[in-house]
Amino acid sequence: MSSENINYSSDVNKSRQTVLDRLNERHEQSHAIDSQRERMLNNEHFASYDNGKSHKNFLQHFIQYKAVVVKDLEDVTEKIHENNLPINERTKILDDILVRLEHMQRWLNETSMYLNSFDSEQARLELKSVNDLFQEKRTQLLPVKKFGFSHKKATKKQENVSKSDSQRESETFEPSPVVVSSKNDSTMYDPRFSLINITGPKHFVIPSANCLSSSPDSLISQTVYLVDLTDCSIEVCGVFGSLIGRRLKNCQIYSHPIAGSVWLDECVHCDLVFACRQLRVHQTSNCRLSLHMASRPIIEHCTNLKVAPYQLVYDSLNEDLLTAGLSTKDDDNNLWHEVDDFSCPNKRLTKTSPNWCIMPENDWSSLCPSRKN
């Protein structure tokens, strides 16, 4: 039995190494195309666009770059299913591909003013198709694992703490998940950091009280998973690796810094407070976002989003920001207001997007939680 376990572990490690080797190979091809792109933008032909000359090679290079991304998506999907990689490794792989999609968007934005109408429209369609494929693959690779939740009343000690906060309208519950088996989903999300299918009003703290002994190093490798929540207020404490939110309605999410990416799908009437390296928001409307960003926030198929700088303040904030690989609160290297709208690919200036705006400064403080965390 011991020998079988050793062999199994060895096979898993070899499989994961194969995935990494394949990704490195694809990255080399991608970097080669990046170099072509840089040479293309810096050569004399690019300078001649102002004189009305169309770019002859842009569409060819753009489609070639897209082909590399599509091949990566297909390879990654196959390998992940074969090797059953854990959720944090899947998220890191998808983060890398997302960077290249953002690269394609910026590339098109920078070049569209110099293209003829056919090339511009064709490039837009190529970008849309690869983004749609990415959304499809992401849903496949980060599927919803169903949980059932029972809610336990707080202990007397916890009740005394909550009574001191008389203004809190909803009780604090600690999720006690029961895993429901799923034939089509072999991915396990850690129930300590997951909330699924809950209707409030309810308040949650992640990690819950019995997990607070977890070391920072153990949290940074974890993913917070929030799905199908209504009328919930959630505080995410500690530096996690990533966060995924789907179908959130009338919720408030107050998160300490995230070391990787935040993915949001189909959220409505929410307040979303995040400091993270990457943010992707899809099919979301009527939400307010309070952000501290290492890269430009990306939105797609969204309407009526309002953005403001990150409003959480607590003693170890700057330390947590540095742990997450982000600039400190007072650093100017914060791209919270430089939103890229993938639904407006031909508009280079982010201010021209009709789907988002900067929130009036007088309203920023309303994005703070109702009590100090």
Q: What is the pLDDT of residues 200-215, one digit of tens each?
A: 899 999 987 666 555 5
Q: Which pLDDT value is given to residue 264?
A: 94
- pLDDT value at 178 more than 70: no
**Reduced to 3 states, what is the DSSP secondary structure of residue 307?**
strand
How far is it, in rounded angstroms, from Cα 191 to Cα 225?
9
List all residues 6 or more positions away from 36 whose beta carbon is below 8 Å from its beta carbon: 61
Q: If you average pLDDT over residues 31-50, what whole number do you get?
A: 44
How far is it, in rounded angstroms, from Cα 335 to Cα 297?
8
- pLDDT value at 21 more than 80: no
Dihedral sign (CA 205, 306, 292, 268): positive
Q: Which pLDDT value is given to residue 15?
A: 53
Instruction: Determine if the peptide bond prior to 297 is cis (ω within 30°).
Output: no
Q: If you average pLDDT over residues 31-58, what whole number do you get?
A: 46
- pLDDT value at 311 more than 70: yes
Q: Which pLDDT value is given to residue 346?
A: 56
Q: What is residue 153's DSSP assignment?
A: P
- State the CB neighbour count (10 A cutoff) for residue 310: 24
Instruction: Determine if the peptide bond prior to 201 is cis (ω within 30°).
Output: yes
Query: Is the Cβ–Cβ distance between 265 and 282 less than 8 Å?
Result: yes
Question: What is the phi/psi pair of residue 124, to 5°?
Answer: -60, -40
How far is it, in rounded angstroms, from Cα 368 to Cα 310?
9
How far is it, in rounded angstroms, from Cα 105 to Cα 138?
18
Q: Which pLDDT value is given to residue 180?
A: 33
Task: Give me 301's structure tokens.
Answer: 């198929």
Task: Give me 364's structure tokens.
Answer: 């920023």
Query: Is the Cβ–Cβ distance between 233 and 250 less than 8 Å?
Result: no
Query: Is the Cβ–Cβ distance between 273 and 307 less than 8 Å?
Result: no
Question: What is the phi/psi pair of residue 71, to 5°?
Answer: -60, -40
174 confidence band (pLDDT: 50, 70, 90): very low
- pLDDT value at 318 more than 60: yes
Q: Which pLDDT value is given to residue 105?
A: 78
173 confidence band (pLDDT: 50, 70, 90): very low
Q: If you average pLDDT over residues 165-172, what whole number do you get?
A: 39
Q: Which pLDDT value is given to residue 155?
A: 46
Q: Which pLDDT value is given to residue 9?
A: 52
Query: Is the Cβ–Cβ distance between 204 and 173 less than 8 Å?
Result: yes
Which residue stretches of the chain are H helix?
Answer: 2-42, 44-47, 58-83, 87-111, 117-141, 156-163, 216-219, 317-323
Give the pLDDT confidence of 226-244 residue by residue, as tens digits: 999 999 999 999 899 889 8
Q: Picking from 9-23, 79-93, 309-323, which range would have the lowest pLDDT averaged per residue? A: 9-23
331 confidence band (pLDDT: 50, 70, 90): confident
